[in-house]
Amino acid sequence: MEHLNDEKIRELELHANDVRQTIIEMLIAAGSGHTAGPLDMADIFTLLYFHALHHDPRNPDWPDRDRLILSNGHIAPVLYATMAHAGYFPVEECKTLRKFGSRLQGHPHREWLHGLETSSGPLGSGLSQAVGMSLADRMERGPQSNRFYYCLMGDGELDCGQIWEAAMLAGKEKLHNLIGIVDRNNIQIDGFTEDVIPLEPLKEKWESFGWHVQEIDGHNMEAINDAINEAKAIFNKPSMIIAHTIPGKGVDFTERRFEWHGNPPGKGPGDVVAKDKQGEEALNELRTLRGLIKSEHQ
């Protein structure tokens, strides 16, 4: 996978900003859904869908595609928004999020939308699904398969024991084409992760299960790209990328606040921005940021 030059980084950052705007628009239209996680994962999803993944939006069932497994399905808005901007379906359809009969439900349903690899809802199950897929790939294609399996997880769902069962099996089987990415935003619905169930030392935990582990800035396109390149070069163990992110990234009044984990604009805390102004203010901030991104790279 090629390294990123300044022009490509600018292109990816602009795509990520577009994805964030679409996330806000779809949450406003739905009147429900999660804000913090989708916003903070926009950079990683953008890097994957616009650079790292081997995939074809015009042929979503292409057998040689990489697989992206979303474990924490409640951040579906970022998956849908990125897929739409990548060409899987019209961006306008994003505003049907959570509507009756929509293909874009609150948690992804693979039978309703081409390009989804799994249905996700119960937290903690995605890594088991990814491990199973990777093992099946080895049985089908042998140990030299060039398909990669990316499992995206939230840090809060690492409270689930099933994650660690899957981690043990992946380490034992040395699944080199399995790449996990944990959104280390330090929040979950009840508060900060270290207050609910402390996760640290997280890097050492994954290493003890036989994984190659990297820690990165989850908003730095070059760092994300370099980490994926390194993970793909590891041939004797699965890889975990712990991506440190800012929940609610891109909108000042949502950043670093766990109260925005499960609330959309219009229903979040009104102590900074009035509820009836939250959607408009969020979009204004992101549009302003888009202009700054363009000017910084000119």
- Tell me: the pLDDT tens digits for 60-106? 999 999 999 999 999 999 999 999 999 999 999 999 999 999 999 99
Record: fold of 6-296: Rossmann fold (3.40.50)
Q: Which of 34, 39, 31, 32 is nearest to 245 (CA)?
A: 39
- Decide if pLDDT at 285 tops 90: yes
- Decide if pLDDT at 17 tops 70: yes
Q: Which of 105, 84, 64, 63 is nearest to 15 (CA)?
A: 84
Average pLDDT of span 14-39: 98
221-232 vs 6-30: helix axis angle to the nearest 10? Answer: 100
Residue spans per domain, the chain: 6-296
State whether residue 245 is helix, strand or coil. Answer: coil
- Reported pTM: 0.97
- Decide if pLDDT at 143 tops 90: no
- Decide if pLDDT at 295 tops 90: no
- Decide if pLDDT at 294 tops 90: no
- Containing 192, the helix (H) or strand (E) segment is strand 191-192
* d(C-alpha 16, C-alpha 8), whole Å: 12
